[in-house]
Amino acid sequence: MPSYLKFTLFLLGFIFISTDAFAQPKSIEVTGVLKEMETKQALPYATVVLKSLDTTEVLSGTTTDEKGKFNLATHIKDFLIEISFMGYTTKYISDFEIVDWKVDLGDVTLESEGQSFDEVEIRGEVSKTVFKLDKRVFNVGKDLSSTGMSGLEVLDNVPSVNVGIDGDITLRGGAGVQILINGKPSVLADESGNALGTITADMIESVEVITNASAKYEASGTAGILNIILKKEEKKGWNGSVTANTGYPDNHSIGLSLNRRTEKFNLFTQLGGGYRKQPRFSESRNFNKITEETILSEGENYRNEKFFNITLGTDYHINDYNVITLSGNYALEMEDQPSETDFSYLDSNGDLVSSWTRTEVTDAINPKWQYDLNYKKQFRNNKEHTLQLSALGSFFGKDQSSQFTSRTNAGLEENRDQRTATNFNKVDYTFKADYMNPITDAFTLELGSQYVINNVGNDFMVEDYVVDEYVVDQNQTNDFEYEQNVLGIYSTLAYESEKWGVKGGLRVENTELNTFLVNTEEENNQNFTDFFPTLHTSYKVSDKLSFQAGYSKRIYRPRLWDLNPFFNISNNYNIRAGNPNLLSEYTDSYEITSIYRIGKASFSSSLYHQYTTDVIERVSTIENNTVYSRPYNVGTNSKIGFETNGKYIPTKWLTVNADFNFNYFDRKGTFENQNFDFSGSQWSARLTPKFKLKYDVDLELTGRYQSGYETVQGETSAYATLDIGVRKKILKGKVMLNLSVRDLFQSRIREHFVSQETFENYSYGVRSRQIAFGVSYGFGKGEAMNYSGRRR
């Protein structure tokens, strides 16, 4: 390699070691591109070896690059090619043609070990993870417990991800997670509605877990990014599937997926609808240490939902190098949320002062729509040389009304009626431009920009029933306006050789945030620019061991519900509210990952460190026996952790997947003269054995454990859960019968303790177990797909 080029690269900060391989005269060159059989995605870092047919001696070896390409050579003509990758069946190729001292294998596919035992190929039968330079790709399979799954529950099966019963998503125990759909923000994953409410398991192709994102991705999400890739069938002709599900508590849905592929067009649609009930039990205890008074509550609430969604889209292939995609999604949700909660008020002696029952009747209509226009150009010199332009628009609305009635059961009169009305509208626009140029076989340049516009209006009114009429409560009523615009530009440069890979980049983002409380005329205007450097590298030690390392700087911008000071009063003694004066969190994230194989087991293990400033924490206070929970910026958090994911296939009928994550954190900070310095740890584990039984019957068990951990004011309890799934395939997989039980022991709880000098607060919640049965049928050239219609 020329010395001036080495010097230039050194100045740029990209360090690599050049290989000592050299071309031998009359050597035979072997090339190809390795892809996964089911998804046709490139398989990076797989091992390719040339062996002598006579002695089985290894003649040459290499690993595939990030795009699945491999290139190696030998001077011996009688050889075979062995290709292996953890979690996949090893492939041997001995039938090939040598032309002009070259063997061009073209696209070579590798089959998952979990797939190789079926009589027919069923796409995505078992979920699996593929490792790339700056991310892990979890290809979503038809796991048995996925019957009745929503997109939220699919995420709960992804390594490193945990989803609480309230739908809160954490990555390696961190809450600052940015969720994207096909690489872009989406109304389908917006937290202002029900998270991932209308995305179902059958719609998802894969989930990219990005704990240290490159500069190509927006900098939001201090814990990382989850990028959900939706399916889009590419088989020619008509393809489709129909599914039906039923379950207890009421969980009934039907779905249809259709695709028509021609030379120029690819038309696709998915539609579904259903109805479900989701009961939840909760209780709480507020103890005022100053007055020694106690408020107890215990009750059950339901979320009854009717829903409908439809997706339409088309790809138009202008020619071999230009494609335009236009797609749209519409969803309508109709909610009915009845609840009944019993309250008790005890004096300092523990004697009952009064008890009453508070009932709630809430109705809401939530329309969602989204459109996406995308143009992709491939340049003639290289199919990886691309320019992509996209524009996305979305809308989410909520027209909600609630009626609250309190009736005294004993003691002092607590009769009180309230009603609320919410008119919520959220409009988002995203414009993106991405350019990628593989300058040489080793160097790749990326450039791009993104502009995101978020505009929200939340008109919230509370009325109290006073002397035969409802009167507006001015202390709780307000119109909150929120506008955020983020402009980002980025550039990355990557180098890849047989053993080394390195990718560095820089992203610059300007944020303009404005909030306005109409009634009080309070404003919060922010305008700031940040720089986000990233660096990733990889090194292959041997065929069974390789390393990856990465660094990125991230930001967590306060979101709508963090900032909106008016939230809900379903339990008017435990109220959550926002804080319009919040600042952004910033995190420096470091990570080292090893990928290795031991016999029939394959593993990925990571050491990581995250340092976050201006940490956003929910802080509870008590006023008149009512506990208010509001977010504040409280100091710093230093976290160091270890994570490992493994897969073991001891026999043809058993596959075992396991995940383990442990982290230790050190919190520093003060709030209102109160010291919040403390340290602690938390860990989680997941074990999933899959059994292949006779008569095409499969059984799957998934056990999870989440440890308890300390919070800034108290602690959160541990919990363990078990899911079971059974599947029977008929007609060689064209028809599938699925039965699943999620949270068999109804042990997935949410339990928090808060203990302060002036008060104590205890809260507990649990949802019922879910039993679901589904039937799916694939027709045309398609296959059965488990449409669930399930949503949070």
pLDDT value, residue 166: 52
The whole-number pLDDT of residue 199 equals 59
Which residues are bridge partners to 655 per DSSP?
690
Query: Residue for token digits 């309070």?
Result: 522
Closest-CA residue to 696 (of 147, 21, 117): 117
* pLDDT per position as a tens digit, 723-764: 998 888 887 667 888 888 989 999 999 999 999 989 999 999
**How high is the pLDDT of residue 173?**
58
DSSP 8-class letter at 376: E
Contact (CB, 8 A) for 758 and 286: no
Q: Give the per-residue pLDDT at 60.
A: 82
Cβ atoms of 404 and 419 within 8 Å: the answer is yes
Residues in a beta bridge with 352: 346
Q: How far is it, in rounded angstroms, from Cα 285 to Cα 751?
A: 12
Q: b/e for 669-705, b at 16 or more Cβ within 10 A?
A: beeeeeebeeeeebbbebbbebbbeeebebebbbbbe
**Whole-angstrom distance, CA of residue 69 vs CA of residue 46:** 10
Q: How far is it, in rounded angstroms, from Cα 489 to Cα 431?
A: 12
**Amino acid 780: pLDDT:** 59
Output the pLDDT for position 261.
67
Q: What is the DSSP string of 659-675?
A: EEEEEEEEEE-EETTEE
Looking up tokens 């008790």, which residue turns up? 344
| Terminal Cα distance for the chain, rounded | 56
Q: Which domains does the chain have, with CATH numbers?
A: 3-110 (2.60.40.10), 257-769 (2.40.170.20)
Nearest by Cα to 133 from 435, 505, 549: 549
Give every residue of the chain whose pLDDT is below 70, as ranges: 1-26, 38, 54-56, 86-87, 112-134, 140-153, 156-157, 159, 162-168, 172-176, 183-203, 222-223, 231-239, 261, 263, 567-568, 732-733, 779-792
Q: What pTM value is reported for the model?
A: 0.73
The span from the CA of 262 to the CA of 374, in Å, is 19
Give the mean pLDDT of the chain.
82
CA distance readout (Å), 354 to 201, 407, 412, 587: 48, 11, 5, 49
Closest-CA residue to 43 (of 101, 109, 92): 109
pLDDT, residue 2, reads 47
